[in-house]
Amino acid sequence: MNKIEKAVKKYLVERKWDNLRPADIAKSISIEAAELLELFQWQNLSLEEVRMNKEKVEEIKKELADVLIYAFDMAVLLGIDTEKIMQAKLDKIKKKYPAELMKKRKNDESEDTDAYWKIKKAYRMKGVN
């Protein structure tokens, strides 16, 4: 990810945006995430349905890129190693939601998410994310 972080840093410096306020970037991430979510408003398409809809995928790419760029803007400006934090979070999630337990879910429209919510509730009660 170092390559993309360098490209983002260059992009920010060239525009003199290398002093943006973290709160403003966080707001922008949220706004762009809402635009991504809006692409699914009033729909509940399956993964396969979305993949088959090339126009929808193109719209998703644009909004997802906006979200990711702002996220990388924040990481770069705060000196955060994105690869390191993402790997650490993945490691934590793997422990929190064991694959063996999660694979037991049903594959129909009304997936059984009881195990997920039980784990999530237990962690929340402990005050852990």
Cα-based angle 76, 78, 83 (whole degrees, multiple of 5): 55
* Overall number of domains in the chain: 1
| Domain assignment present for 56 | yes
pLDDT of residue 24: 98
Is 51 a domain residue? yes
Specify the pLDDT at position 105. 59
Range of the domain at 23: 2-81
The per-residue pLDDT for 109 is 45
Q: Looking at residue 119, what is its pLDDT? A: 81
Q: Is 95 contained in some domain? A: no
Q: Evaluate whether residue 119 is within a structural domain.
A: no
- Asked whether residue 99 is assigned to any structural domain, the reply reads no
Query: Which parts of the chain have pLDDT scores under 70?
Result: 104-113, 129
The reply to whether 127 falls in a domain is no
Residue 101's pLDDT is 78
CATH number, domain containing residue 29:
1.10.287.1080
* pLDDT value at residue 32: 98
Within a domain: 18: yes
29 located within any domain: yes
